[in-house]
Every structure is written in C-alpha cells, then in structure tokens.
Chain A
C-alpha cells in the first residue's frame, strides 16, 4: 500500500506552514507543496515596508532556506499553478500538464488584489501589491516617480504611503469611505492614523473617488481625475482596494464557496478529503459567531498548524484568537481580537505620547484592543482572551491610572 500523501496547493504563508507543520508534527507520508510563483515561499508583510524601502532584499524574505524542502522531504513545485481539481479521481492538474494524486488536499490559494475599473486603469505605472514581483515593480517605479497616488486607505495602501513618504515622494491617498481602515479599526484609531499621515505631509482625501486616470503619449500614467472634476498629478499609482479570495479551482470542482472556500470548524470543505486554509478560507469564527475570512499572517500560520494536526490524527477545532499588525512611520499598531460591532471605545494611556491603547467594547464585553507602541497591552489582551479571561470591565479600564500590567498581576493572584 502506498504511503499516505498530502498535496498542498499554494505556497504562501499558509501553504508553506502547512507542509512544514505536517512534518514537524510527525506526518510520515508524501508531501507536495505547489506554488504559482517561481520563488521559494516568502514573508509578505515586509513587501510594503522594508523591502520597498530597500532595507531588506528578496533573499531575506524567504520563510525557510532553499535546503529546507530537501531536508524535510517535502517536494516543492514552483511556478506551476493548479488549474483543475478532479475530486472523483482525487487528482490535481497543474498548468504544466502534470497531474498529482492525493489522499488529502489542502487548498491555500490566497487572495488577489481587487482591480480598479476606471478608464486608464491599464496604464503603465498603475500597480497593485501582493507578490514579490509586484513589490519589485513598485520599488523600481518609486525610483523615478515624483508623485504617488494611493487608491484605498487600507493596510496595504497606508503602509505603501508611509514608505514612499519616507523615501521623499509626494503622496496622495484617496479613500472612498469616510475614514481610513474602516473595516479594520475603530473610528478613533482611524482618526489617529489620519493625523499621523497628514503630519508626515501626506494628502489624504476621504469620501472621494478616482474617476479616471490619464497617461502621456507613451501610455504612462500622469494624472488622476477625482469625482467633482479635480485633477491631481500622479506618475505612479498603487491600487489597494481590498483583495478577493482565490476560489477558482474549488468553485469549478463544485466545492461550496461564498466569498471564500467554505470550511467547517476543522477547516474541512464540503469534500472531506479537501481542507482550505489562510486568506482563501471562510470559517466559523469562534469569536464572532458567524463565518469569517481573515487575511493575516496569524490566521495563515495558526490554520496551517490546525489542519496539520487534523491530518496527523489529532483533530481539534480552530479557535485561535485573531491578531494583526501594521507599521507606518515607526508607529506600530497591534490589534488583538476583532472589534467589529463595538459600541464604545475607551482610551488607556495618553495618545499625545504616541503610546496608548484603545479598548473596543460591546456592552461590557471587550472585543479588541488596538495598541500603538504598547506591545504589553497587546500581548496581555491576547493572553487573557486566549485563556478565556478575566478581562477588564469597562468601568475598570475607564479608571484613571488603569494599566494592563497591574491588571494582569492582580488577576493572577
């Protein structure tokens, strides 16, 4: 009888971590890791920061060294995306024509940037940022550009804006919503980040939209037109208006999808031989009571370990606490939990010092802590939420002098 085999499709954080975790948790069968890009699996967070700033090279970004796959007996197949999933035959067909049989399939397909659909969106110099190739193009483009236009005030857009501003470019951010990072942080944190960007000389336009991009005779972008007719110079444009989960092969094969590949608490799709992890998976959120899809390193890494445990015969439902981070101008924002649906925000510390946390409550329940240069607040929240409490009640957090370190110490006595 052949050894059991797992095929992992997608070699980003989730896919690479799944292959590694299978081995480190004792899986003895065949592991094949299939990626669409022609490079070793790498870290994406630095693409918009250190890589773009030139302080880290692409070789520094590899999650694991080249020797890793050989040493761990993992077959790594690069630059050969999966094109079709034959569930009846338990095989995956790759773009090269190669066909891989599997006993278990893990889909770690990731997400792709949402495209801009205005006239001129196809001009040279209009870029998105997802892959190392994208980041290389953007870095090259920044060398010759004078005015960067960032469309979208989300994590990617704001990180690129901060890096470009530090590199001396003129930067404009146009956000269609009424505030920055509206889907990810509280209104008070949006306001803090807005002030930070403006203080660094970024022009931020809220509730505004780009209606057209125009180029020069050579087809390179030169200016943008906004709703209301205003024109702004832009010789480089980054589109950061969200990402769409990659579900193509899964949907074509009849798996249940709905803005992501639908999985159960064990990350299993509607086919028991197929699991999905990372940006492409929509799972029952243990902390939200509704299905969620998360785009973060934490979610990719924790789901990878969870699915590996299942395939090694130690299934446990996925219950990791979500957390996120971003860095802009030396401002390090760390978010523990999901603040969605909060109705009250309490401030711990003094925002004018640049070190503080915002606590997002729904009624008496702490949903999330948003910490700026306060890693202890972030870590203690994560630890207490992960342990099921106790968490500070709102009246306690509102008391002058409240601090997480003292709270934790008192709680552990």
Chain B
C-alpha cells in the first residue's frame, strides 16, 4: 500500500491509498480520478496518462524507457522535464507519499 496524491489543475487534491501491485495510472482509474484516461490500458502507447512529478519529489522512480520517452513527445499538454507516463510507474512502499500533478488535458 502506498499513499499517492493526485493534484488537479485547479489546485484541489485527491489522496488515495493504492494497493501493491498497481501503477500510479491504475491508482487513478480505480478511484475514478478525472484527468487520467489511459486509453491503451497501460502499454505506453497512447500518452493519455501523462502526469508531472512534483518538483520536490525525492522518491526513487524507475528510469524512463525509450518508448515512454517517445510517447511523451506528443502529449496533449506540454511536456516538461518532470513529465512521466503514470502507467510506467509501479506502486511500491518505496514511493509512499508520491505527489503527481494532473495536466490540463490528456487528449
């Protein structure tokens, strides 16, 4: 179980406990958090689960693979240095407390 915070563009937050194994994307889907679509089901090919990792984050996240990097080239909201696909972020005790910001749009 890990506590994940999803911050909406209007500043409100949804904080949920996500069971392991899951991904940060799936945590949003399970809890019906508006702002994560994941149309391809989590296979790093649609770019509709784009999130920005909180600037202050010090938690260990997995390295980005080439396919994730490629998909991030075309996200609907602008790509930033802290952009990730939430389907590529497995939930573990190690990322308990992670804060992600939801973009203005996914498509």
Question: What total of chain A residues lie within 8 Å of the partner, measured CB to CB?
Answer: 38
- The interface residues of chain B lying within 8 Å CB-to-CB of A383 are 74-76
With contact pairs A297-B40, A301-B37 given, residues A379 and B74 touching in the complex (Cβ less than 8 Å)? yes
**B39–A301 contact, CB under 8 A?**
yes
- List residues of B (16-32) whose CB comes within 8 Å of A's CBs: 29-32
Complex Cα spacing A408 to B29, Å: 31
* A4 lies within 8 A of chain B by Cβ: no
Distance of B28 from chain A, by nearest CB (Å): 10
0/1 per residue, B26-67, Cβ < 8 Å to A?
000111111001011100111100000000000000000001
What is the CB-to-nearest-CB distance from A366 to chain B, in angstroms, rounded to a whole number?
Answer: 14
Q: In the complex, which residues of chain B have a beta carbon less than 8 angstroms from the beta carbon of A334?
A: 45
Question: Of B40, B67, B70, B72, which is within 8 A of A325 by CB?
Answer: B40
Of A297, A325, A375, most B-chain CB atoms within 10 Å: A375
Contact A375 B30 (CB under 8 A): no
Evaluate contact between A302 and B107: CB separation under 8 angstroms.
yes
The answer on a CB contact under 8 Å between A376 and B41 is no
Tell me, rounded to whole Å, the shortest Cβ–Cβ distance linking B86 to chain A.
16
B32 contacts A408, C-beta separation under 8 Å: no
Q: Is the CB–CB distance between B73 and A405 below 8 Å?
A: yes
Please report the C-alpha to C-alpha distance between residue A118 and residue B45 in the assembled complex, in whole angstroms: 39
Question: Do B45 and A408 have beta carbons less than 8 Å apart?
Answer: no
Q: Is the CB of A376 within 8 A of B32?
A: no
User: In which size bucket is the chain B interface?
Assistant: 20 to 34
For residue B71, CB closer than 8 A to chain A, the reply is yes
In the complex, the answer to whether B32 meets A20 with C-beta atoms within 8 Å is yes
Nearest residue (CB) in A for B48 is A301
Task: Report yes or no: B32 in contact with A23, Cβ–Cβ below 8 A.
Answer: yes
Q: Decide if A380 touches B45 in the complex (CB within 8 Å).
A: no
Specify which chain A residues have a CB less than 8 angstroms from the CB of B47 in the assembled complex. Answer: 379, 382
In the complex, A320 Cα to B106 Cα: how many Å? 11
Residues of A within 8 A of B39 (CB): 297-298, 301
B64 CB, min distance to chain A CBs, angstroms: 13
Q: How far is the CB of B3 from chain A (nearest CB, A)?
A: 17
Compute how far the CA of A379 lies from the CA of B31 in the bound complex, rounded to whole angstroms. Answer: 27
The 8 Å CB contact of A375, one of B32, B45, B107, is B45
A65 at the interface (CB under 8 A from B): yes
Q: A375-B44, A382-B74 are in contact. List 16 more A-B contacts (CB 8 A).
A: A20-B32, A24-B34, A45-B41, A64-B30, A72-B32, A297-B41, A320-B107, A323-B46, A325-B46, A374-B70, A376-B70, A376-B74, A379-B75, A380-B73, A381-B74, A386-B107
In the A-B complex, the 8 residue pairs with the smallest Cβ-Cβ separation, listed nearest first, are A379-B74, A24-B34, A376-B70, A383-B74, A375-B70, A376-B73, A380-B74, A24-B32
Subset of 27 A-B contacts with CB under 8 Å = A20-B32, A21-B34, A23-B32, A43-B41, A45-B40, A63-B29, A64-B29, A65-B30, A71-B32, A305-B37, A321-B107, A323-B46, A332-B45, A376-B70, A376-B71, A376-B73, A378-B45, A378-B74, A379-B70, A379-B72, A379-B75, A382-B74, A383-B74, A383-B75, A386-B76, A386-B107, A408-B74
